[in-house]
């Protein structure tokens, strides 16, 4: 196992009715900016619960953060923060709202000239406003991690800083009942692929990390389809298991002390930036192709995945791996996800542009061995057709 330092100080309030816990989390003299997206929180009752929990605070609101949050939208929150002396940000929504709030929190106290440098130049931030989260879509893990992804003019880039890790997060599975099937599927598959990007590399004898990861994958495979099926759609235990899996998949725990890949995400970001495909739907297209093209480097872990996650014991090593990849694709399809570029109306003619974008963004040595060059990314995209 590799050396690591691990901490995650986000306090989690999990379960039905926990939005009221905000009252004890945010100091009553704090001036709060409640930040949300396109309005789903108004129709599912989350907004009302938040308003009730903030009864002792002075608060303002900023809405309209879109999926794949845009820089141009986020910076509009900055004058509001200055004008009202905001000192706490409450993100109410999915990963896009949480990521957007992380950028706003850092940009509000940024000492440099141009807040875009936080993302584009990975400029060091010295301070950020404190963030609390009411999560409405289990997927990204953003509610307890230090990452954020921001888009500007079609360029989608991440930044990471411990200063933007949320102070607390409310995870109420009941608020996920209003999600569309598409968003449920996106969330389950995003969490699945976060787990895979930290698991499907090479063996460093990280048994705890491996078995945690395999448990998360199996939970998502079991519970994901139940959240779509009529008879189990409103089962809160199903929603709770999905929600907790998504948080655990990207809170730093399973990635500590083990190699990580993230090539699927980096290639996927270009698909979203260029073609506006939902984040998770880019991943379900790219991951099977990464598994095939990088089979040799990932051989040991692919076999472990086949045996422990899919219980495949018959056949040669190559047959076991091929079957595990097929079952992974079947799982994605059972969740209504695309698994090929052709499923989203893209083809060979789109690949040059995607490879060029990877180059522009410095994504020239991806993967756990940094050997996914632009040529290999091209092979992956060709494999995905």
Q: Contact positions toward Zn ion, by CB under 5 A? A: 190
- Order of strands across the sheet with 131-135? 11-14, 168-171, 131-135, 88-93, 31-36, 58-62
The entry of Zn ion, ligand NZQ, none near residue 144 (CB within 5 to 8 angstroms by kind) is none
User: How far is it, in rounded angstroms, from Cα 274 to Cα 54?
Assistant: 40
Spatial CB neighbours of 380, under 8 Å, sequence gap ≥ 6: 263, 267, 286, 289, 290, 293, 372
100 in contact with ligand NZQ (CB under 6 A): no
What would the two tokens of residue 307 be? 């045996």
Tell me the backbone φ, ψ of residue 290, rounded to 5 degrees: -65, -40
Choose from Zn ion, ligand NZQ, none: what does 149 bind? Cβ within 5-8 Å by kind. Answer: ligand NZQ
What ranges make up the beta strands (E) of the chain?
11-14, 31-36, 58-62, 88-93, 131-135, 147-152, 155-160, 168-171
8 binds ligand NZQ (CB under 6 A): no
Q: Which one, 190 or 278, has the nearer CB to Zn ion?
A: 190
**Binding partner at 271 among ligand NZQ, Zn ion, none, C-beta below 5 to 8 Å by kind:** none
Minimum distance of ligand NZQ from residue 20's CB (angstroms): 18
User: Which residues have a Cβ under 8 Å from the Cβ of 295 and sit 6 or more positions away?
Assistant: 302, 321
Pick 129 or 372: Cβ nearer Zn ion: 372
Q: Provide, rounded to whole angstroms, the least separation between the CB of residue 180 and ligand NZQ.
A: 6
Query: Whose structure tokens read 């900016």?
Result: 33
Q: What are phi and psi of 31, to 5 degrees?
A: -95, 120
Beta bridge partners of 90: 34, 132
Among 25, 99, 161, 261, binds ligand NZQ (CB under 6 A): 99
- Yes or no: say if 298 and 356 are a contact pair by the CB < 8 Å rule: no
Per-residue binder mask for ligand NZQ (CB under 6 A), 344-373, x = binder: ------------------------------
Among 12, 37, 171, 366, binds ligand NZQ (CB under 6 A): 37
Contact status, residue 133 vs residue 139, Cβ threshold 8 Å: no
Residue number, 190 or 270, with CB nearest to Zn ion: 190
Shortest Cβ distance from residue 95 to ligand NZQ (Å)? 3
Min dist CB 337 to Zn ion, Å, is 13
At closest approach, how far in Å is the CB of 335 from ligand NZQ? 14
Q: Which stretch binds ligand NZQ (CB under 6 A): 165-173, 184-192, 237-245, 350-358?
A: 184-192
Name the residue nearer to Zn ion (CB basis): 18 or 142: 142
Rank residues 261 and 306 by Cβ distance to ligand NZQ and give the closer one.
261
Q: Which stretch binds ligand NZQ (CB under 6 A): 17-25, 53-61, 132-140, 165-173?
A: 132-140
Binding status of residue 179 toward ligand NZQ by CB under 6 A: yes
Tell me how far apart the alpha carbons of residues 332 and 343 are, in angstroms, rounded to a whole number.
12
CA dist., res. 124 & res. 162, Å (int)? 11
Task: Give the Cα separation of 41 and 176 in Å (integer).
Answer: 11
Half-sphere exposure of 185 (CA within 13 A, CB side): 18
With CB under 6 A as the contact rule, the residue among 20, 23, 178, 383 that binds ligand NZQ is: 178
Provide the binding-site residues for ligand NZQ, judged by CB under 6 A.
37-41, 44, 67-68, 93-97, 99, 136-137, 139-142, 145, 147-149, 175-176, 178-179, 183, 186-187, 190, 250, 265, 279
């Amino acid at each position: 196992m590799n050396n690591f330092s691990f901490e995650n100080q986000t306090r989690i309030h999990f379960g039905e009715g926990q939005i009221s816990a905000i009252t004890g989390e945010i100091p009553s003299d704090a001036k709060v900016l409640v930040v949300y997206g396109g309005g789903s929180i108004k129709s599912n009752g989350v907004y009302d619960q938040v308003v009730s929990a903030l009864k002792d605070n002075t608060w303002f609101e900023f809405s309209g953060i879109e999926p794949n949050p845009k820089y141009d939208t986020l910076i509009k929150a900055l004058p509001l923060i200055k004008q009202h002396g905001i000192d706490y940000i409450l993100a109410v929504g999915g990963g896009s709202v949480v990521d957007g709030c992380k950028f706003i929190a850092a940009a509000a106290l940024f000492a440099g000239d141009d807040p875009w440098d936080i993302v584009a130049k990975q400029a060091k931030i010295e301070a950020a406003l404190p963030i609390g989260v009411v999560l409405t879509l289990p997927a990204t893990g953003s509610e307890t991690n230090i990452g954020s992804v921001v888009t500007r003019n079609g360029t989608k880039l991440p930044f990471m800083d411990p200063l933007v890790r949320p102070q607390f997060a409310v995870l109420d599975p009941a608020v996920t009942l209003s999600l569309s099937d598409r968003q449920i599927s996106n969330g389950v598959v995003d969490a699945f692929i976060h787990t895979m990007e930290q698991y499907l590399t090479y063996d460093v004898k990280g048994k705890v990390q491996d078995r945690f990861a395999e448990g998360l994958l199996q939970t998502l495979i079991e519970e994901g389809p139940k959240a779509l099926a009529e008879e189990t759609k409103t089962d809160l235990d199903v929603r709770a298991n999905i929600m907790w899996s998504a948080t655990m998949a990207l809170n730093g725990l399973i990635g500590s002390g083990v190699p990580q890949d993230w090539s699927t995400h980096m290639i996927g970001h270009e698909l979203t930036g260029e073609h506006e495909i939902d984040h998770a739907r880019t991943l379900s297209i790219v991951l099977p192709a990464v598994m095939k093209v990088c089979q040799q480097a990932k051989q040991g872990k692919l076999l472990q995945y086949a045996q422990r996650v899919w219980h495949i014991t018959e056949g040669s090593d190559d047959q076991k791996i091929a079957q595990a990849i097929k079952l992974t694709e079947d799982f994605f399809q059972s969740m209504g996800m695309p698994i090929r570029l052709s499923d989203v109306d893209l083809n060979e003619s789109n690949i040059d542009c995607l490879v060029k974008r990877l180059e522009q963004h410095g994504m020239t040595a991806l993967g756990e061995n940094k050997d996914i060059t632009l040529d290999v990314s091209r092979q992956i995209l060709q494999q995905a057709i």
